[in-house]
Chains A and B, each alone.
Chain A
Amino acid sequence: MKALRNYLDKIKPNFLEGGKLHWAHSTFDAIETFLYVPNSTSKSGVHIHDARDSKRTMIVVVLALIPALLVGMYNVGLQHYLAIGQAEAVDGLAKFLYGLLAVLPQIVVAYGVGLGIEFVVAQVKKEEVAEGFLVSGILIPMIMPIDTPLWMLALATAFAVVFAKEVFGGTGYNIFNVALIARAFLFFSYPSKMSGDQVWVRTADTFGVGGGTVVDGYSGATPLSQLVTADSGNFADFTFTGVTGQPLSIIEMFIGLIPGSIGETSLAAILLGALILIVTGVASWKIMFSIFAGGFATVAVINLFAANLVMEMPAYYHFLLGGFAFGAVFMATDPVTAARTETGKWIYGLLIGFLAIVIRVFNPGFPEGMMLAILFMNAFAPLIDLYIVDANIKRRMKRGIAAKTLTNGGKGNE
C-alpha cells in the first residue's frame, strides 16, 4: 500500500498547474481522493470535521440500491427463461448470470457516458469531480426496461447529465432528478421502446447465453398495463398473469418476480434499501412515509367512486406494482431536487403520492405515473419551500413591528 502512495506522490507533479498532464488534473484528483482521504487540513473556521463526506453519502445510497439491483438481475433471468420455456431446466444461478450479463452492459454504458461528461466538466470548471453521478449512474439502468438499446441509454444519460445537471451548475444545483430526466427523455422520444409489452422481458439471448424460442401464449405485458387494457369487470375477478399466462401471487409481486423495469419490481428489496437509507439518515423518512400516505389516501377516495378495474384496485397493489415504491424510496428522496424544509417535505411527499395515483388511474396512456409525479413536484419543491421559509420571515417581521410599537409606548409606527 505504501508503494501505491509513493507512486501517486511521484506522478502527482505532472497533474498540477504547469505539469504536462494538467489537462487531466480533475481525473487524477478524483482517483487520488477515491483511494486516499485527502490530507488537507482546515484553514479557517472549525478545526475538526465530521467524517461524513459526499463520497460516503453517495456510497451509502449505492449500497441501498444493491438489493433491488441483485433481485432485478435474477428476475431478468427468470422472466427470460420463463418466456423461452426453460425456467424449470436452468437453476437459479444461471438465471442470475443471464440477468447479470444483460444488465451489466447497461450499467457500464451509463457510468461510462455520465462519468465521462462529469470528468470533462470538472476539468473545464477546475473543480473536483462531484460524486452525484455515482448514484444516477446506477439508477438510470434500474428504471429502464431491460431491452432498452445501449445507444439509447447512452443518449439519454448524456442528455440528462448535460441538460438536467451541468447546465444548472452540477451536483447540488439541479432542479430535476437526473435519472428521471433520462427516463423521461426516452419515454417521450422513443415511446415504442419504453412501453408496451415487448420491452420488459428479454426474449433473445445475451452474448450467446440463454438462446431459445418463445413459448406459445407468451405475453410480456406488465401487470399494470394488463389492468389498464383489461375489459371491464370486477377487480375481485381479475387475475394478474405472468409471461406465460400463469397467475401471479402477491408473494411473487412482493419479491419482484414479475415483468417490469430492472430495479423496480421487488418491493422487498426496495424496503430493505429504504431501511438502509433511513437508518443511516441519508434519505428523509418523512418524504417516503408521506408519499405512501398520500398514495394510500388517494386510492381510498378513488375506491369509493370506482367505475372501472383500475379505480377499484386497492392501495397495496399500487405499492406492489410499477415504480411507485422505487420512486418513493430512491427518486423522490433525492435531497437536491426534493423540498429542503422539513415541513415542506411532508407536503412534497403527499402531493407526489396523490399525483402518481391520479396519473395512474385516470390516464390510461401513462400506466406509470410515478416518474411524472416526481418530476412535476421537483419543479414545485422550491415553491413549497418558499412558502415555508416565508412563514418564518413573516414571523420575524411581525416580531420586529410588535417590538417597535412597544417602545413607542403603544403609539404605533409613526
Chain B
Amino acid sequence: MAERIKIKKGLQIPLLGHAEETLRGTITSEFVKICPEDYQGITPKPAVKPGDVVKAGSPLFYDKNHIEMLFASPVSGEVVAVDRGEKRRILNITVKADMVNQYVDFGKKKVTSLSADEVKAAIIEAGIWWIIKQRPYDIVANPEKTPRDIFVTGFNSAPLAPSFDYILNGQEDDLQAGFDALAKLTTGKVYLGISPDIINKGLRYAKGVEVTEFIGVHPVGNVGVQINKLKPVNIGETVWTLSALDVVIIGHLFNKGIVDMTRTVALTGSEVKKTGYYKMLIGTELTSIFENNVTEGISLRYISGNVLTGRKIEKNGVLRAYDSQITVIPEGDDVHELIGWASLSPNRYSASNMYLRLKKAYRMDARILGGPRGIIVSNEYDKVFPMDIFPEQLIKATIAFNIDKMEALGIYEVAPEDFALCEFVDTSKLEIQRIIRAGLDLLRKEVE
C-alpha cells in the first residue's frame, strides 16, 4: 500500500474540452522538426548538415558544453534544413521522413546486469538523455553529477491533461525496465508519485521504486510539489526529475534496443470538434489533426502542451519534445468586451469569488484580461502554491535578482511550471513563469 499525501492548496481550472479516451489513429508528416529551444540549459551545436541521411536514434545536434550529450532524431530520413535565428541560434532542424522508419540498433540489454555507468552511457549514446531533467534550475540533467534521488511523476494534473492510465496501458514492461535503469543512476531512491485514480499496474505496483499517492488538485501532479512534500532539495543537492511517460522511452531502449519517440497525444481544448488520442512521433507536423476539426471563423490559439505551461505553436507547428497534449483555445484578440470590470457574465471564470462561480466547464481564451500592475493583492499566490515556500517573496527576490535571498527562499526547489497557477490567478498579470525562468538561468550563470 502506497503512502498517501494530501495536498490542500491548488486549483483545478474547469476548462472545456477533455480528450475522449479513444485512439483516433496514427499521424505522420512529410517533415519532422526538432526545436532545440525545448531543451533547457543546453547550447545546441548541429551534428548534421542538410543532405545528411539519419536514422531514428542518430544525433541531430549536441550540447556545446557536454559534447557527449546527443539529441536523437525521432525519425529516419534526410536532413533538409538547419534554421537559424538571431546570433545563429538554431531554431529547428528539419528531417524529410522516410516512408518506413529505420532505427539505429543500440542492441537489447538487460538493465539489471548493467552497471550505473553503462546505463548512463547507453541513454546518452541513444540521444535521449534530455528526458532526464534536474533540480536546481529545471534544465536537462548534468550527466557528470550523481543525483541524491530521482523523482518520477506518474500523473498529470494540469487542465485537460492526458490520462497516464490510458497512455501507458500495455507499456508496463518498458516502464519497469525504465525504473530499473533509473534505480542504477542514483545512490538514493527513485520516487514515483501517483494519483488515487491510477490503476495501471506498471505504475501502482512498480518495483524498485518508492510509490507515493498524492491526493489533491493541480499542481499536485507537478514533480516539484511532490519533491517538496517527500524530500525537499537543499542547497548543494541535485535531484533528477522526469515523467513516467518518458521512463517508457528509456525502458524501450533497453528492452528493444531502439529509440522510439512515439507519443500518445491527447488532442484537447474547447475549439476541437472531435477530441481524442493520436499516436505520433515527437516533431510531427500537426496540420492534419486540425484540418476540419477545429472551430472556424474565429482566431485560434494552438498550444503544444497544456494551457498553463505549453508552447504557442502555429497551425502547422509540430509536437514539442516533452509534450503529450495538444490544446486549441480561442485566441480572443477579435473580442471586444464592453466594461468587463463590471461584467456579471457567467462565461467569465475566476478562481476568486469576484465572479459567479458556476459548476460548469468554461471556454476560456488567451486574453490577459487586464494590464500589468505592481503586486497588490496578498495571499493570492499562496492559495495555489502548495510548497513550503513563500511564492510572493521568492518572485520579488527573483525580480530584484537578489541571489542570497533567492537561495534562502528556496529558488533551488522550484521550476517555472510550479508558478503557472500563480501566473493564472495573478491580479497584477505578471509573467511569473518568464521571471522565474530568467532568474534560474541568470543564477546558474552566476553560481556555476
Q: Please report A residues at the B interface, Cβ cutoff 8 Å.
A: 1, 5, 33-57, 59-60, 128, 130-132, 169-173, 279-282, 284, 335-336, 338, 340-342, 385, 389, 392-393, 395-397, 399-400, 403-404
Contacts and interface: CB of A to CB of B under 8 A. Distances in A.
A128 B371 contact: yes
Contacts of B410: 396
A51 B389 contact: no
Interface string B362-384: 00111111111111111100100
A282 B366 contact: no
B433 A45 contact: yes
A37 B378 contact: no
B427 A54 contact: yes
Contact of A54 (B355, B376, B388, B423): B376
Contact of B433 (A46, A48, A53): A46
A36 B337 contact: yes
B368 A282 contact: no
B354 to A, nearest CB: 5
Contacts of A42: 366-368
Contacts of A33: 371
B408 A54 contact: no
Interface string B346-361: 0011111111000000
Given A41-B301, A53-B369, 14 more contacts: A5-B336, A38-B367, A47-B308, A47-B327, A48-B13, A52-B351, A52-B425, A54-B376, A55-B340, A57-B377, A128-B373, A393-B408, A396-B409, A400-B236
B424 interface: yes
B141 to A, nearest CB: 20
Given A392-B388, A392-B390, A279 B335 contact: no
Contacts of B352: 50, 52, 280-281
A38 B334 CA distance: 10
Given A171-B374, A342-B379, A39 B332 contact: yes
A44 B427 contact: no
A169 to B, nearest CB: 7
Chain A interface mostly: loop
A41 B367 contact: yes
A399 B227 CA distance: 14
Q: Which among B331, B366, B433 has the highest number of chain A CB atoms within 10 Å?
A: B366
B216 interface: no
Nearest to B424: A46
6 contacts: A38-B369, A39-B333, A47-B327, A52-B427, A57-B376, A389-B409
Given A37-B337, A37-B340, A397-B408, A49 B368 contact: yes
Contact of B368 (A41, A131, A132, A172): A41
Contacts of A396: 232, 234, 408-410
Interface in B300-349: 301, 303, 307-310, 312, 327, 329, 331-343, 348-349
A1 to B, nearest CB: 6
A404 B235 CA distance: 10
A45 B338 contact: no
Contacts of A399: 232, 234
B75 interface: no
Contact of B369 (A37, A43, A170, A342): A37
A389 B350 contact: no
Given A42-B368, A172-B373, A403-B234, A389 B307 contact: no
A61 B192 CA distance: 46
B340 A36 contact: yes
Given A37-B337, A37-B340, A41-B365, A46 B376 contact: no
Interface residues of B, number: 76
A353 B371 CA distance: 36
B35 interface: no
Given A48-B13, A50-B351, A52-B352, A389 B390 contact: yes
A50 B355 CA distance: 10
Given A5-B336, A128-B371, A53 B376 contact: no
Given A41-B333, A335-B378, A392-B389, A48 B365 contact: yes
Contacts of A132: 376
A235 to B, nearest CB: 39
Nearest 9 A/B pairs, CB to CB: A172-B374, A53-B370, A37-B340, A400-B234, A55-B341, A51-B348, A45-B433, A41-B366, A37-B337
Contact of A45 (B342, B348, B432): B432
Interface string B421-448: 0011111110111100000000000000
B68 to A, nearest CB: 27
A45 B420 contact: yes
Contacts of B348: 51
B388 A280 contact: no
A40 B367 contact: yes
A82 B331 CA distance: 61
Interface string B7-28: 0000001010000000000000
Contacts of A172: 373-376, 428
Nearest to A2: B336
B392 interface: yes
A403 to B, nearest CB: 5
Contacts of B433: 44-46
User: Which interface residue of A35, A38, A42, A170 has the most chain B CB atoms within 10 A?
Assistant: A42
Contacts of A36: 336-340
Nearest to B331: A41
Nearest to A286: B379
Contacts of B370: 37-38, 49, 52-55
A54 B307 contact: no
B336 A171 contact: no
Contacts of B13: 48
A282 B377 CA distance: 8
B112 interface: no
Interface string B179-205: 000000000000000000000000000
Interface centre among B159, B332, B341, B367 (most CB of A within 10 A): B341
